[in-house]
């Protein structure tokens, strides 16, 4: 448990059972309903679905929505806050229909709403949100069509707010509202001077491209007053970045926003809603620090900071406590998806045994390497390290100049591996290890090839060095012995996971188990529900993975509630504009030509064409026979 930090990042949803499988406990502490991920993988494969699979545990989504609402409710009660909390889910964080459907379902009892930043997102939001007491927040740049969609939602009884991002939107909204004879609900997006730490610090501060600066806010206020429409201004919104790791920035942003809110009230706007945007972070690496993939606060602390900021600023001025909105997307959906994949192969660092007698060689390279191996000792460890790397380089040079054969070079590299491993194990017992020797560990990692595409399923690992928890989902009663990095199956050297949290073997490798002949080895990448699915791309034409959603019952049983087949080969080809019908036609002609030329028989032609058809229908990932 220590090794993979599951108790640190698992938020009580993920644990290890006595037989060494990762289990899911979607109801958190106090409920014993726990299911083994390994059992689920077996069932998924029995149902005919191949790895990789995104597994969604729907109850975890329910638990996270509950956590947000109940924590705010508790803090509101504790502090005597007079307003209420209404969350919205920003669709951009995971737009998949099944996800939004599940959020609408679980969120209904809490009036959890949706946030849209574009026309397709708004249409999706209106069609999914059945609950008129929930808020619909429209951010982003809006054209006439976007505005009409939102105004029609207001007409149908929805609380659909337009958040003004640029001053130019005001006139267009007022004009369309007049035409459609509906009173718009307006908000302002403030550009705060507060800038948060983390990966998205540019979302806040003077250089942010979003929102109105203070003079633009004054212009908008004046325009609304001129048009006699200041009474439509009900909401202030800001967003200073996703995944804000430091609570200090959350509080600083909230305090600044409350001051703006106070001024808007002083200007005569009715207000009533303050929308703190996103930013509530997920502790991906379990370190509970202000590192970019973590957070140094709990959900409860976040809620206290928001509520207390309002009470400090507005309460003191006797301003009615507004309804609090947050657009927390990441924390809502991250926990409920796990990417599951099997390991296809390992490129192992373990060398072949040293033969009793070294092969004959016209120079003394191999003898020197053997002597270096025998001499490895703590007092001369730096020297052994220098020699190993020197002779490795010499072997490569001699090979280039035709002075040793491929087999002799292989033997030399094999001896180098033995030396490096001996140096590494010797250094483990030393207190002061020279820097060069410490770096040797990096040369010893195995490469585990996982059946997935980093670019499709974990794009933030590639794009922003995001850390996600990764670990085997079974065999956790056996000690893993191989330090490894994980490679995907794209032909891209960036397609690898080689950045791990502190509790791993070292920050560049994870300890994994040796593969067994008779058994698949499965890994899970956890907390992947936010952003990864839609930001993923078709690099090397690896498509969407299969998705399976389960619902766990209180008695510990579970049912598969939704299944979504991933892209087939013909799907991904059509995404890049191939005409699959024309391709089939061309292949038929090629095969026919091969028959005419006598390269293949008529029977072989039939088999080849069948194989082609099957290939087009197949999954883009590695399939078992």
Using CB under 6 A, list all residues that contact ligand PLP.
90, 93, 115, 139, 239, 242-243, 277-280, 327-330
Backbone dihedral angles phi then psi of residue 394, each to the nearest 5 degrees: -60, -40
- Based on the number of CB atoms within 10 Å of its own CB, is 48 exposed (0-12), middle (13-18) or buried (19 or more)? exposed
Closest CA to 286 of 438, 451, 115, 500: 500
CB of 113 to ligand PLP, least distance (A): 12
Distance CA 275, CA 211 (A): 13
Chain center to CA of 59 = 19
Distance CA 497, CA 8 (A): 20
Residue pair 129/158 in contact by the 8 Å Cβ criterion:
yes
Output 269 or 282, the one with its CB closest to ligand PLP: 282
CB of 64 to ligand PLP, least distance (A): 11
Distance CA 412, CA 367 (A): 10
Output 459 or 480, the one with its CB closest to ligand PLP: 459
Shortest Cβ contact with ligand PLP: which residue?
Answer: 278
CB of 160 to ligand PLP, least distance (A): 16
Output 135 or 280, the one with its CB closest to ligand PLP: 280
Residue pair 400/345 in contact by the 8 Å Cβ criterion:
no
Output 242 or 287, the one with its CB closest to ligand PLP: 242
**Exposure class string for 15-26: b at 16+ Cβ within 10 A, else e:** ebbeeebbbbbb
Output 8 or 92, the one with its CB closest to ligand PLP: 92
Output 198 or 315, the one with its CB closest to ligand PLP: 198
Output 330 or 513, the one with its CB closest to ligand PLP: 330
Output 213 or 540, the one with its CB closest to ligand PLP: 213
CB of 490 to ligand PLP, least distance (A): 26
Edge-first strand listing for the sheet containing 35-36 = 14-16, 22-24, 35-36
CB of 218 to ligand PLP, least distance (A): 22
Residue pair 215/262 in contact by the 8 Å Cβ criterion:
no
Structure tokens at 549: 């959603």
CB of 150 to ligand PLP, least distance (A): 16
**Exposure class string for 138-175: b at 16+ Cβ within 10 A, else e:** bbbebeeebbbbbbebbeeebbbbbbbbeeebbeebbe
Distance CA 114, CA 100 (A): 9
Distance CA 311, CA 320 (A): 10
Does residue 491 have an active-site annotation? yes
Torsion of CA 63, 64, 68, 74, to 10 degrees: 30
- Based on the number of CB atoms within 10 Å of its own CB, is 625 exposed (0-12), middle (13-18) or buried (19 or more)? exposed
Backbone dihedral angles phi then psi of residue 622, each to the nearest 5 degrees: -65, 125
Output 36 or 64, the one with its CB closest to ligand PLP: 64
* Active-site residue, from 361, 385, 491, 493: 491
Please report where in the chains the tokens 């007022």 appear, as a residue: 174
Output 243 or 466, the one with its CB closest to ligand PLP: 243
CB of 546 to ligand PLP, least distance (A): 25
Residue pair 517/533 in contact by the 8 Å Cβ criterion:
no
CB of 241 to ligand PLP, least distance (A): 7
Residue 244 vs residues 75, 85, 91, 279: alpha-carbon distances, Å: 21, 20, 19, 5
Dihedral over Cα of 255, 261, 267, 272: its sign: negative
Chain center to CA of 620 = 21
List active site positions.
Answer: 491
């Amino acid at each position: 448990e220590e090794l993979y930090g599951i108790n640190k990042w698992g938020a009580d949803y993920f644990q290890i059972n006595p037989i060494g499988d990762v289990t899911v406990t979607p109801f958190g502490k106090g409920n014993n309903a726990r299911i083994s991920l390994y059992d689920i993988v077996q069932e998924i494969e029995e149902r005919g679905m191949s790895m990789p699979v995104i597994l969604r545990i729907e109850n975890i989504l329910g638990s996270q929505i509950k956590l947000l609402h109940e924590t705010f409710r508790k803090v509101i009660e504790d502090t005597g806050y007079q307003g209420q909390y209404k969350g919205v889910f920003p669709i951009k964080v995971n737009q998949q229909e099944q996800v939004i459907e599940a959020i609408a379902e679980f969120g209904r009892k809490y009036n959890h709403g949706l946030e849209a930043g574009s026309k397709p997102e708004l249409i999706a939001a209106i069609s999914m949100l059945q609950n008129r007491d929930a808020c619909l927040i429209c951010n982003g740049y809006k054209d006439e069509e976007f505005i009409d969609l939102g105004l029609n939602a207001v007409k149908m009884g929805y609380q659909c707010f337009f958040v003004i991002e640029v001053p130019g939107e005001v006139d267009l909204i007022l004009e369309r509202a007049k035409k459609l004879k509906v009173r718009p609900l307006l908000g302002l997006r403030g550009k705060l001077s507060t800038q948060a730490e983390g990966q998205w610090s540019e979302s806040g501060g003077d250089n942010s491209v979003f929102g109105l600066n203070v003079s633009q806010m004054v212009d908008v206020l004046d325009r609304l007053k001129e048009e006699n429409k200041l009474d439509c201004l009900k909401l202030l919104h800001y967003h200073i970045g996703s995944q804000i790791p430091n609570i200090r920035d959350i509080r600083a942003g909230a305090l600044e926003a409350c001051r703006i809110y106070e001024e808007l009230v002083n200007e005569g706007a009715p207000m009533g809603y303050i929308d703190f945007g996103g930013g509530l972070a997920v502790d991906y690496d379990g370190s509970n620090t202000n590192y970019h993939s973590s957070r140094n606060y709990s959900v409860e602390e976040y809620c206290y900071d928001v509520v207390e900021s309002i009470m400090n600023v507005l309460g003191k001025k006797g301003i009615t406590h507004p309804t609090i909105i947050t657009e927390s997307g990441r924390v809502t959906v991250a926990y409920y998806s796990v990417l599951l994949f099997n390991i296809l192969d390992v490129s192992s660092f373990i060398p072949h045994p040293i033969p009793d007698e070294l092969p004959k060689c016209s120079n003394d390279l191999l003898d020197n390497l053997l002597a270096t191996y025998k001499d490895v000792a703590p007092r001369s460890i730096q020297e052994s390290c220098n020699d190993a790397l020197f002779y490795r380089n010499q072997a490569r040079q001699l090979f280039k100049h035709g002075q040793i054969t491929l087999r002799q070079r292989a033997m030399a590299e094999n001896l180098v591996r033995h030396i490096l491993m001996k140096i590494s194990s010797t250094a483990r017992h030393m207190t002061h290890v020279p820097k060069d020797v410490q770096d040797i560990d990096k040369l010893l990692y195995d490469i585990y090839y996982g059946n997935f595409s980093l670019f499709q399923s974990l794009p933030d690992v590639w794009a922003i060095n995001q850390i996600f928890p990764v670990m085997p989902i079974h065999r956790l009663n056996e000690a893993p012995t191989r330090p490894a990095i994980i490679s995907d199956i794209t032909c891209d050297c960036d397609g690898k996971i080689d950045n791990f949290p502190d509790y791993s073997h070292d920050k560049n490798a994870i300890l994994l188990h040796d593969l067994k002949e008779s058994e698949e080895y499965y890994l899970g990448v956890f907390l992947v529900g936010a952003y990864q699915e839609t930001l993923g791309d078709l690099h090397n034409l690896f498509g969407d993975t299969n998705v399976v959603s389960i619902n766990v019952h209180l008695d510990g049983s579970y049912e598969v509630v939704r299944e979504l087949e991933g892209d087939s080969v013909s799907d991904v080809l059509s995404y890049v504009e191939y005409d699959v019908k024309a391709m089939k036609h061309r292949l038929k002609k090629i095969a026919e030509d091969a028959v005419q030329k006598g390269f293949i028989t008529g029977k072989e032609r039939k088999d080849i064409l069948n194989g082609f058809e099957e290939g087009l229908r197949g999954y883009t990932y590695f399939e078992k026979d």
